[in-house]
A and B are shown apart, each in its own frame.
Chain A
Amino acid sequence: MTDVSDVELMAQLAQRDPHALRMLYERYSRIAFALAYRVTSEATTAEEIVQDAFETVWNKATTFDPGRGGNVRGWLLTIVHRKAIDNRRRVSGKTPRPVPIDAMLHVLALPDAWAEVSADLLAVRVRTALGNLPPDQHRIIDLAFFEGCSQSEIAARESLPLGTVKSRMRLGMRKLAELLRDERDTTALATGEGVLS
């Protein structure tokens, strides 16, 4: 059963099979919870976000069309991330930026460059890559992704010129992409596995 792909699970979900949701939950609830917890710093809230996200997947699965792409993991984590950021901004008194769930459906169509990489291995790679970023770039990415700050909010918070924040964000994301791509290519060469891109 572990060989069932995410796309196959979504097809089963579209037929209202709760066992498929359970399998998807077993696959991704841990990383979903880690992400929600990292953003909200609160276990109960993180649990509620995970619950909401999987219920959203269940509700939206009826509209799932495998022909439009099957990046289920990316879609699920996008839902978790946006719900967590929205919650964090609300709790911290910032203007929330709720995103309609339908606006996240496009993620399903995005290629999943990490589809062949296990969550545990990817976690090691990402943390290593983040650790190899210049600290000022790492900090900007952390504030933007895990705290949901816009560039202007980061500039105000860090007392930096907006141009500096924009530059560090762009350079940091490029560098992170390079580091991850190098890591992926190196692993692919070493193992002979295909490189998805």
Chain B
Amino acid sequence: MAGYFFKKLLYGLLIYYSVATIVFFIFSFSFPSPDELATGQRSDEKTKEAIKKEFGLDKPIKTQYLYYINDVSFVSVYKDLKEINVSKIQLISLGGNKIVLKIPYLRRSFQTGKQVNTIIKEAFTGTLILAVSSILLATIAGVFLGCLAAVKKDTWVDRLILFISTTGISLPSFFVAIILAWLLGFVLSKYTGLNMTGNYNDLDPFRGEIFVLKNLILPTLALGIRPLSIFSQLTRASVLDVLPRDYIRTAKAKGLSKTKIVTKHVLRNSLIPVVTSISGWFASLLTGTFFVEFIFNWKGLGKITVDALDNSDLPLVMGAVIVVALIFVFVNIAVDILYSILDPRVTLE
């Protein structure tokens, strides 16, 4: 078990540093340099030099790369800790150098000068709330509907669920988002009380920052409907695969009721293949919700990434990509653990 985690952690770090390296080289060569962006029309050499120096771009590319890797590492070496504005623990100091344990430092935005860590942290909270609520909706409703369809196979219930889920799969989320926003947030807003757009937190004149639950409803629906449909079809197929198994016959032969057979013996075995799909979707919801965030004006990772690309804000883009890579590594480890809980034949070794 411990060996397994150690191994996974090493693989994870390998992926993390590979992504950081690829991101660094691709973006260093293909993006316009910040001195051109920041100065705009007024391009006197001295200002340019100053800006280049500020971001460390006057150094050779090799040195830049080493500095970058040092910044995004979990254990790094610094002369001066003032600039590194992330939570950190100093381990030892050697001469003038200090070795620290810290979260990756993603530098400052070219555009606003704000710490990228702070920007991503804020945006990621929004995305996380949205992704978790949609995946919960999709999983609970999808597994329930899939199970229901399989148990009621070839009846109208099954056909209705199949029809709905097939429709759900074929609808792109941005289209659903627009329809939902227009229909429930505008045409029927008198009855639903929902807004067309809105963020999860809002400033209330009396109470300060508040959490607005109702703003979560429409984006969750828009985002959750496709995974919901896919999960329900997967669950249906998986349940149909498990139902004729011998151990279900055994469960029936020992006198268990139908509900008990389905909830205890069928469901757990059927969920094993569905978990793969759920985890994949969860990871991509965490990272690719741009359209929905854009339409509902929801402050999230997708929205800031696209804005950053638009503004050629290199540190922010690189930071976002690195955070996404980290998410995938973590979700993968989590899924392995979940597998071993669901299926005792899977051991973490």
Query: Do they bind each other?
Result: no
Residues of B within 8 A of A (CB): none
